[in-house]
Structure 1
Amino acid sequence: MAGVNALRWLILTRHGESTANLAYEALLGTDAEEYDVPERDADVPLSDTGRAQAANLGRWLAALPEDERPTTVVASPFVRALDTAGIALAQTPYAAPQAPDGLRLRVDERLRDREQGVLSGLTELGVRRRFPDEADRLRRLGKFYYRPPGGESWADLALRLRSFYRDLEAQAPGGRVLVVAHDVIVVMTRYLVEGLSEREVLEIEKTRVANASVSRWRLDGSGPRAVCYNDSTHLTDVDDSPSKAPR
């Protein structure tokens, strides 16, 4: 994929556990129609566990061999991703402000979570009850191409990610890049980097990307080589069971 193959390393992580993840888990098995989350999606913060996960992620980054350490870090503008990146980088000896020439965190709105439009904040039951026609359209079109009113399909997300990675190629050719974002960004990056089909990516998506997990690809001129996907072994001392919540 143009925009990725010009890099040397690509590392993606999902943000740490958020308060919205906890709110979602609290509703499992109930007949609730919407999540009890007071903040807008962009402002949802990390939970205490999420902050501990971010710190562990930072210690993992600090232990990377020098030739695998990120030279560029880009995050989603959403608070949970920004805070994950900030906490993680604070654990490394090569990131600002500790190092005079250390890494600077960049923000790119193309890494934001998928926009749900009128379905934002609703549970699956809430969608079926309040928007039965949309629930039927989702079943007919499938998750990849379904676009909720005012929201995005997965295919829409692929378009903005292609744009992001093309720009990244121009800005950091040969670089080692860390992206801190959301589960769907991790999944769709794999779709783009590995040239997957709709069926393949939706099968992969059935296993939720764990909070603060790591996915890595090495690019050596012969195409991307997956080193790990959805790896959370660096979180063994944190209560880090993969969140089922998409946010």
Structure 2
Amino acid sequence: MIEFVVIRHGQSLADIEGRHEGRADFPLTDLGREQAEKLAKWLKQRYNFDTIISSPLKRARETAEIIGSKMNKSVIFNEDLMEWNNGVLAGLLREDANRDYPEPEGGRKYFQAVQNGESMIDLRSRAEHFLADLIHSTKDSKDNIRICIVSHGGLITMLYRSFLNMPIDTNVWLSSGDTGVHLWQINNDKKIVMFTNIQEHLRCDV
């Protein structure tokens, strides 16, 4: 059995400033680091990880390193886990982005990239590549494997769509709050979603 514990990073500076994040590389806030500490303690009580893989962007990197420190595991960084490349929107206040780069009437199509960025098809392709490579590299193992993945809300949605073989034009989105945890399994070729967006650790003391 392969088990994926998929985690969104904690609160970042862009979250509280009302900015488009994407590839803008904002760090965690003090609250975000506290959320990650609570998560790491919660995870240590429940899981052992064979591998921790993270986006290299600061908000995910910090979250993953806090988990890794608690679990005494090093973190592997993979650029395929980076958030959607939102091009010219990265780092802009939302009101400025809406003024300077308004969406086309009816919204941006799935195949249309934001200026200097990615389309949703591009993002899905990255998620597909990451997940397919990870599954292929572990499928012949005789042991149960548990992998921790730390990433971003948009990319996690695309991993979810890829995991469940959803159509490329699906409009299904997966909610991921600050340090929200998802648990997915592949067991005898069955793909199982055990739970999504668990945040009970945020009610615990550090």
> What is the number of equivalent residue pairs in this alignment?
199
Distance 1:162 1:194 in 2: 11
Aligned to 1:77, what secondary structure does the other structure show?
Answer: coil
1:130 and 2:100 matched: yes
Seen in structure 2, the aligned counterparts of structure 1 residues 22 and 166 have a Cα distance that, compared at 3 Å, is same
In structure 1, the residue matched to 2:49 is 70
Task: State the secondary structure of the residue aligned to 1:54.
Answer: helix
The match for 1:209 among 176, 184, 188 is 176
Tell me by how many angstroms 1:121 deviates: 2.7
Q: C-alpha separation between the residues in 1 aligned to 2:104 and 2:177? A: 29
Measured against aligned partners, the alpha-carbon deviations of 1:107-166 in whole angstroms (never above 9, x if no partner) come to 00111111111222334543342234xx116x2544x33310110122101111222123
TM-score (norm 2): 0.86
Instruction: Describe the SS at the equivalent of 2:183.
Output: strand
Q: Aligned partners of 2:90, 2:166: CA distance in 1, in Å?
A: 28
Alpha-carbon separation, structure 1, partners of 2:161 and 2:51: 22
| % identity of equivalent residues | 26
Among candidates 36, 46, 49, match of residue 31 of structure 2: 49
Q: Is 1:227 aligned to residue 206 of structure 2?
A: no
Question: 1:183 is matched with which residue: 142, 153, 157?
Answer: 153
1:159 to 125, 134, 156: 125
Distance 2:94 2:75 in 1: 35
The CA distance in 2 between the partners of 1:23 and 1:147, in whole Å, is 25
Which 5+ residue runs of structure 2 have no aligned equivalent?
A: none
- Contiguous gaps of at least 5 residues in structure 1: 1-6, 25-34, 96-102, 239-247
How far the C-alpha of 1:46 sits from its partner, in A, is 0.8
**Could you say if the C-alpha distance between residues 219 and 12 of structure 1 is closer, same or farther in structure 2, counting changes exceeding 3 Å?**
same
Equivalence for 1:10: 4
Other structure's SS at 1:55 match: helix
Which of the residues 84, 90, 97 maps onto 2:63?
Answer: 84
From the two aligned structures, give the one with the greater strand fraction: 2
- Amino acid of the residue matched to residue 87 of structure 1? I
Q: Do 1:56 and 1:88's aligned partners in 2 also have CA atoms closer than 8 Å?
A: no
Superposition CA RMSD, Å: 2.3
Match of 1:104 in 2: 74
TM-score (norm 1): 0.73
User: Which residue of structure 1 aligns with residue 42 of structure 2?
Assistant: 60
| Secondary structure of residue in 2 paired with 1:159 | helix
- Give the residue type in structure 2 aligned to 1:230: N
CA contact (8 A) 1:70 1:176 kept: yes
Distance 1:22 1:128 in 2: 18
